[in-house]
Structure 1
Amino acid sequence: MSTPKQQLNRDFLEKNLLGKELAPFTAEILDYPEKIIQFGEGNFLRGFVDWMVHQLNKQSLFQGRVVVAQPIPSGRVAELNQQDGLYTLILRGTQDGQVVDQREIITSISRGLDPYTQWQEVLKCAENPAIEYVVSNTTEAGIAYNPADRSSDQPPVSFPGKLTAYLYHRYQHFQGDATKGMVILPCELIDRNGDNLKRVVLQLAAEWNLPLQFQEWLTKANHFLNTLVDRIVTGYPAKEMAQLQEELGYTDQNMDTGEIFHLWVIEGDAALGERLPFTKAGLNVKWVKDMTPYRTRKVRILNGAHTSTVAVAYLAGIDLVRDAVHDQKVGQFLKQAVFEEIIPTLDLEKSELQQFAAAVLERFDNPFIDHKWSDISLNSTSKFEARVMPSLKKYFEKQRVLPKRMTFSLAALFALYYGTEIRDNKLVGHRNGKEYFVQDDLPKLEFFRDVWQKYEKAELSLEQAVAGILTRFWPQEAQELPTLASEVAFYLQDILNSGIVSSLEKCS
């Protein structure tokens, strides 16, 4: 298999691909003006927001491009610039029961900037009245106050510091014009990301002794929007690269891959949705007054399905998420937990919840993503607290009985954390006679080890062991749900005696 010699760039695209399957558009799309500055050049934004902007441009609904600034010293703007911002995006998965493999050259990025060598170029973007939008994805730790930030830094250390300096430069250049504020769309995976970003920016503006008029302009002229993003972007397909480049006929060092499903929930005024007409382009973008129900839906259904099933599937000998969907017993457990126990606890329209859940199951079944249950199991105690326990409690409040599958999943979690030895800061468990390693905070693992050591020495009964674990991690629930300990102990005893697969019949 030979490697194509031609690299994807503007010259190659114009000569070879415009108007063809991978690039069904005209050259005009490559010359649209810059309208968005994006902090973050990684796989996710290129497979999510930049893909969306490309879809808008294909329909002449936005006619704007994205200038990208890498948020940390090490990044890939140099590689993007070598290809004139172009890259191939491959979206694969199952949609409406059919396997889909979409390939497209994305043209929305105009250029990349390195703030650590081109800070003045970044600030010059603030002087462009056409650049009205800020997009970011600087990891969950990116939206945080950093005391090392100073207004005179070239550039400031953190993303909020860079944004503060950027907005102050814009404020100065346009002399405080209230019409020159920006729409700021952070995509970091933290709750109320826009509110948190605004809080840090205002804190820095005050610490830097910037004018009070600027601080007022920040609040009144700019829109810091809370958003929720949802798409698995799997990034550069290293293992398939040679074959893909042979099929495509060119080399592409910026190639990106992801799943078909996408959802962007933006908490903002409907008028902003007219300016960024994602929905008009047929994209799954929702402009809402309150994103809380949508965040709850994602956490409880998608993340909750993962967390309530992880111990069950893994102890059943299933390593990949998609294989659990097809397993007769585990797949049934997963579906019943979602449709019969989680969905009834949520407040959105039932049909919308069922549609979202069906899409989640299709995503779990993606034949192109090897999603390992062992990876999902990381820090399962805190994940169960955030993702499953609220549904369990809500179900009990409504039905006055405990939900069978979620209660069983808690017993399975305790079985997953059954181990009497810690090695290399990991709890050693056993599955089908072979060791596996549980990763969580060390004090939590030490607690489980001590409980199970006492249980094996007959110093604790199983119900006492379960009650002790519940009191340690969920004291309020242990008190408010009086039968929780006994029901979890019932399922756990059967799991330990008969194995997880046989025990599933008890909660069907």
Structure 2
Amino acid sequence: MTRLCAATLASLPATVRRPAYDRSALKPGIVHLGLGAFARGHLAEYTEDALEQRFGAWGIVGASLQRPDQRDRLQPQDGLYTLLKLAPTGPELRVIGSVLDVLVAPENPAALIARLASPETRIVSLTVTEKGYCHDPATGKLKTDHPDILHDLENPDAPSSAVGILVAGLRVRRAEGRGAFTALCCDNLPSNGHVLRGLVRDFAALTDDKLAAWIETDVAFPATMVDRIVPATTEADITEVAKLIGQDDAAPVIGEPFRQWAIEDVFVEGRPEWDKVGAQMVSEVAPFEFMKLRMLNGAHSSLAYLGYLAGHETVAEASGDPVFARFLQGLWAEIIPTVPAPQGVVLEDYAKALLSRFQNPAIRHRTWQIAMDGSQKLPQRLLGTIRERLKDGAPIDHLALGVAAWIRYVTGTDEKGGAIDVRDPLAAELKRRAEAAGSNAEALSTSLLGIEAIFGADLPGEERFSKPLAAHLASLFGKGARATAASLG
């Protein structure tokens, strides 16, 4: 079968939407660090829409920070790939043309730094996941003893971390008088623009105070809130896309029709007209970000751990189970009082829309995928809400069960005795503590609560949290996830 590329665009079926602009005239203006499925299903499609609305020099050069896989899939396709939107009514197919090239940082860090330093580059965006920022999630501060940060301080011209790469590019721009770019974080971090500013500034200050001061005053770090369910692409997805478009595509992206992007409108060298194609350019992103982080991400994580333990492979299966659907409604009832509603949003309606999205049978968003990196996600997604509820003297039964399910999950053994592939930066430490405690729920709960980087210094001593947590964990071991969730009513 023919491979998707620029030369084969014209032979695609009429049902496949393709770039409606002269792609040969497209010049790069954005460098994106971490060109995974989400970035290609979100940022790249918004940019594609903006290019069709008003053409400009806003092509995307992606950068892989670890492996060449993405480059190797996209280069033979001239950067083109299929976005398959799975609606309950049927598939929608579109070939995205906004990605022009992919660099691989470990292979040629100098080329990536040169691209960041190029006058053409006006925006550097990032989706490197929470752990990619080499920071302490509980404080938002740079981990100066992180191996990647130590490496980058020793090798400033060959950095490996996203923070080190940003500083390397900015260092060259300042030295050559080219002006700053906008650093646009698109990861699920609270106050992500503010956090990124602090990390980049503080890293620069470790070697160059003047560069740090310039970054503070000249570089823009807009806050953002991104939302779209983009499951990991499977071999079955690749086969299905090939059938639908009549060509081989090694890098398709699968996503839901829904998308949302709130962006603080602070850019130093312009931006694509994302606001004309559905993005919300706002003066304050925090209310949207906060709502999504607690209501969507908090529910996603809780459901992922419970659903996986109960044998549900996908979010749609888990949320379609009446027991877990009721659990989600109870969870949102605990979360909503802690969330100030953004302008024009009714939070109860937002919760209903989330349940509908979760239950979309066409989206195979794996519970295992969402369960990754829980030690980095819990502080933002669940523990902040728990702290507020405790302060108000309010119940936390559903929230505590979400945390207990994470603890049960990271023991590494499921309810049938099978091994769980736990992916987490603290996986070794979690495994050590779990093995030492065994299935003693109180000992296990106490041990994991003792990880201050996750739970801080306050929650371990808070009996209104630790007691229901241990009780839920004992029930998870004794009765299983579904029965435990059902017991909440």
TM-score interval (norm. to shorter): 0.7 to 0.9
User: Retained in 2: the 8 A contact 1:232–1:259?
Assistant: yes
Structure of greater Rg? 1
* Cα distance in 2, alignment partners of residues 384 and 207 from structure 1: 29
The match for 2:336 among 337, 340, 343 is 343
* Cα distance in 1, alignment partners of residues 348 and 4 from structure 2: 42
The match for 2:150 among 139, 147, 151 is 147
**AA paired with 1:69?**
A
Q: CA deviation at 1:91?
A: 2.0
**AA paired with 1:278?**
W
Relative distance call for 1:402 and 1:471 in structure 2 (3 A) is same
User: Retained in 1: the 8 A contact 2:130–2:377?
Assistant: no
Show the counterpart of 2:141: none
Answer yes or no: is 1:507 the counterpart of 2:488.
yes
User: Retained in 2: the 8 A contact 1:312–1:412?
Assistant: yes
Q: Deviations over 1:293-351 (max 9, x none)?
A: 4443233222322444456555656454322322233322322322x222122222594
Show the counterpart of 1:8: 4
Matches for 1:251-266 after TM superposition, within 5 Å: 251-266=248-263
Show the counterpart of 1:52: 46
Answer yes or no: is 1:280 the counterpart of 2:276.
yes
Show the counterpart of 1:457: none
* Cα distance in 2, alignment partners of residues 478 and 121 from structure 1: 47
Relative distance call for 1:345 and 1:155 in structure 2 (3 A) is closer
User: Retained in 2: the 8 A contact 1:9–1:83?
Assistant: yes
Matches for 1:66-85 after TM superposition, within 5 Å: 66-72=60-66, 74-85=68-79
Relative distance call for 1:17 and 1:170 in structure 2 (3 A) is farther
User: Retained in 2: the 8 A contact 1:194–1:225?
Assistant: yes
Answer yes or no: is 1:323 the counterpart of 2:317.
yes
**AA paired with 1:261?**
F
User: Retained in 2: the 8 A contact 1:265–1:288?
Assistant: no
TM-score after normalising by structure 2: 0.76
The worse-fitting range, judged by mean Cα deviation, of 98-107 and 127-136 is: 127-136
Q: CA deviation at 1:23?
A: 3.4
Relative distance call for 1:68 and 1:248 in structure 2 (3 A) is same
Q: CA deviation at 1:115?
A: 5.2
Relative distance call for 1:391 and 1:282 in structure 2 (3 A) is same
Matches for 1:109-508 after TM superposition, within 5 Å: 109-114=99-104, 122=112, 125=115, 128-144=118-134, 146-149=149-152, 155-173=158-176, 175=177, 180-203=179-202, 205-206=204-205, 209=208, 212=210, 214-269=211-266, 275-283=271-279, 285-291=280-286, 293-309=287-303, 313=307, 318-338=312-332, 340-349=333-342, 351-373=345-367, 387-395=381-389, 397-398=391-392, 400-403=393-396, 405-406=398-399, 416=408, 426=411, 431=415, 434-437=416-419, 441-446=430-435, 448-449=437-438, 451=440, 476=458, 485=467, 489=471, 507-508=488-489
Comparing both chains, which one has the higher relative contact order based on Cα–Cα distances under 8 Å and sequence gaps of 6 or more?
2
The match for 1:103 among 86, 89, 93 is 93
Q: CA deviation at 1:410?
A: 6.7
**AA paired with 1:187?**
C
User: Retained in 2: the 8 A contact 1:116–1:154?
Assistant: no
* Cα distance in 2, alignment partners of residues 207 and 302 from structure 1: 37
Relative distance call for 1:375 and 1:84 in structure 2 (3 A) is closer
* Cα distance in 2, alignment partners of residues 30 and 142 from structure 1: 33
**AA paired with 2:323?**
K
**AA paired with 2:180?**
G
**AA paired with 1:108?**
S
Answer yes or no: is 1:89 the counterpart of 2:88.
no
Paired residue secondary structure (2:244): helix
Total equivalences in the alignment: 464
User: Retained in 2: the 8 A contact 1:40–1:68?
Assistant: yes
Paired residue secondary structure (2:35): coil
Relative distance call for 1:447 and 1:376 in structure 2 (3 A) is farther
* Cα distance in 1, alignment partners of residues 70 and 486 from structure 2: 51
RMSD between superposed Cα atoms in Å: 4.3
User: Retained in 1: the 8 A contact 2:21–2:55?
Assistant: no
Q: Deviations over 1:424-452 (max 9, x none)?
A: x94656x4xx3245656135424642735
Show the counterpart of 1:35: 29
* Cα distance in 2, alignment partners of residues 221 and 71 from structure 1: 25
Relative distance call for 1:308 and 1:62 in structure 2 (3 A) is same
Relative distance call for 1:70 and 1:337 in structure 2 (3 A) is closer
Unaligned runs of 5+ in 2: 135-147
